[in-house]
Structure 1
Amino acid sequence: MTNEPNGPDAAYVNAPEVGAEVAWIAQRATSRPTSPEADREFRLRKAAALDRIALHETATTTPLVATEAITTAVQAAENLATYDAEHGSLTFRGAELAGDDDFRAYVREEYRAWRHAQAS
């Protein structure tokens, strides 16, 4: 067990602006990455950007308005988790017990770890 902070604030501290991330994603979406590392980075950054958008929508709009952003964020988070399970860095043992919040929390953990590795 660690005493590291968790949650969206810890995951996205010092992250690039959402607009910059969306531009990065859009640029790379036209020519998908060819290496597994680049493909995972694309999926991770996309899931994190969509999670951040959903967090913003949840904080600034009604639940009905935020629903689409949340659904899209969950789909991207599940996509990342499925990719990681298929490529060996995650097991789906007990996946039937995982909920939407679990998948989004997974994205936050992975994004935080990725950003930390980028800074090292």
Structure 2
Amino acid sequence: MSTGTEQWPTPDTAYATAPSMVREIGWTAQAAIDKPFGTRMGREFWLRKAALLDRIALSEEAAGHGGDAIEAAEVAAARLMDLDDPDAICDPRHYVRQQYALWADEQ
């Protein structure tokens, strides 16, 4: 995990190789269903969920909407930052994009 001074990627760059939003909804739902009761979700789950919610919020923002979507994206992004406990102080959604781009490059 990197949290240094790397440039913040644009959404288009960060999500260039991301699966469709429908596929990611399916992945996050299945991951939650498959989780044994009482265990915590791992970083990949929170990263992918935060990225998905960010993508939904971006599409809503582009359409001139997005109140609930933006709030959900911000909450999920903050959850990822809490999990990672980075040294960086930044916009949580920018952090999600950076971390997703780095994670996607490793896949």
Q: TM-score, normalised by structure 2?
A: 0.83
- The alpha carbon displacement at 1:5 in A equals 7.5
- The alpha carbon displacement at 1:30 in A equals 1.7
Greater RCO structure (CA 8 Å; 6+ sep): 2
Divergent runs of 4+, >4 A: 33-36
Report how many aligned residue pairs link the two structures. Answer: 102
Determine the structure 1 residue equivalent to 2:21: 18
1:112 and 2:104 are equivalent in the alignment: no
Determine the structure 2 residue equivalent to 1:72: 72
Cα distance in 2 between the residues matched to 1:107 and 1:5:
10
- When you count helix as a share of all residues, which structure comes out higher? 1
Given the alignment, which residue of 70, 87, 90 partners 1:91?
87
Deviations 1:15-49 (A, max 9, x none): 1000100100000112337999x700000000000
Cα distance in 1 between the residues matched to 2:35 and 2:97:
23
1:55 and 2:58 are equivalent in the alignment: yes
- Percent of aligned pairs with the same residue? 42
Which amino acid is the alignment partner of residue 7 of structure 1?
T
> 5+ unaligned residues in a row in structure 2: which ranges?
none
RMSD: 2.5
Q: What is the SS of the residue equivalent to 2:34?
A: coil
Q: What is the SS of the residue equivalent to 1:28?
A: helix
Q: What is the SS of the residue equivalent to 2:42?
A: helix
